[in-house]
Copies of this chain bind each other. A is one copy, B any other.
């Protein structure tokens, strides 16, 4: 079955979009929330209306068969899926389009692209699914320094190469998209169970390069812990780490590449730790009078050593917006799963923790994961990324940012970040907006709060308005001790705050390592560090 190709603008494949009902639901909420009747809707130009700068470089004959400078390929690889990128896409601004898009099928072709780029002095942008919301894949760089830009798209390397059932591990090519990866593991009774919101349109290599946060709300939150070994192609050559269940031999080589966002090399494959497919489940939703009461329950569950697969909390407004609640209660979505044993004992103890903190479990039977408040939230979660391409043309400013903070600081942190963001919305747009919060992941020592904001902007000023709000929110969370990102990554957009967050001497060490592996500074320039 041939799938439609990815949309050059917006989420998913050509022909996919929100249903009319989803759009009506979302717009009604926006009308109510932002106090407007009608939206100033702008038309988004079609692919063939776009004017791209002429390519500055062309691949040699030996690479031409898997390279393209066609309009579609260059447009598709100009942007990730961030708010400002979507605005620029809507405005038809493709000035930063890559000159060439390479689709290598194997390591030799990846190495050949790196060699060619090194020879002509072109930058190389590794590209998985292109779902970055932090400017991680846009060729936004010094065009005087680089004689061209090659986007290296790994999507033709998507095979599960080898499965080790005894160790529950598989060797997987980095370009495997979520669904294709799971489909190849399914006959073996195995699953990676890493389901970021971008699951359908992101790749294993992208997950590793950005320290993606996945399905599990506790314990196995980041992709990091599933990586057994990796292969990276750098401009200086090939690097393969040893396949080990654990090691104490020096600093972990794998961990140096996790979160490296393509600045050291191209991840081409990895041995990944897998799970048995879950056979036992227990779960449901729990209501709380307010968000902080729910947070205290989450803390109790998180510190009890029960390790629920899901333990997400929505504040009342977020619960209302996603259809999971009525706006009067905070909702906890709680679930346990196992491929080995019934999990009722675990669920029972977690519910006790919730009751201790004033929680009221939602009654109901069946697969709680897919029904009730939990199920409604799950559907909204999966469909959410389709909203941006419909909101931006209506000048709706809607974005999310996520962080992590220890429990001792959480309440004050939450209030200060929310207040700063709300104030910035009012200043930037001249009218109140909305800021909601949920927890996406939970650690024994603190939560990962995820904020969503909604504002009404105006065409012509959307990027500046968004940037003002983004700056205020980011300043607030860095000032209050959080991280600039828990799982969206740094890219180009988070650089100013990442630079404040990370120790200066660590940046010096990263730069030195970068020079050792990529002496010409070709790879993803501007991401994480200046080349």
Contact = CB atoms under 8 A, between A and B. Distances in A.
A46 interface: no
Contacts of A219: 219
A21 interface: no
The 10 closest A-B pairs by CB, nearest first: A245-B446, A245-B443, A211-B248, A512-B512, A509-B513, A512-B516, A304-B340, A247-B483, A167-B406, A255-B255
Contact of A510 (B212, B222, B250): B250
B447 A245 contact: yes
A494 B245 contact: no
Name the prevailing secondary structure of the A interface residues.
Answer: loop
B503 A239 contact: yes
A354 B146 CA distance: 61
A166 B276 contact: no
Interface stretch (A28-36, A257-265, A463-471): A257-265
Interface residues of A, number: 94
Interface string A248-285: 11111101111111001000000001001000000000
Interface of A: 164, 166-169, 210-213, 219, 221-222, 228, 234, 236-253, 255-261, 264, 273, 276, 299, 303-307, 338-341, 345, 349, 404-408, 441, 443-448, 481-490, 494, 498, 501-506, 508-513, 515-517, 528
Contact of A486 (B248, B345, B503): B248
Nearest to A234: B505
B408 A164 contact: yes
Given A249-B498, A250-B261, A511-B516, A303 B340 contact: yes
Given A303-B340, A481-B242, A248 B488 contact: yes
Contacts of A251: 255-260, 510
Nearest to A247: B483
Contact of A446 (B241, B244, B303): B244
A340 B305 contact: yes
A236 B507 CA distance: 13
A167 to B, nearest CB: 4
B273 A509 contact: no
Contacts of A303: 168, 276, 340
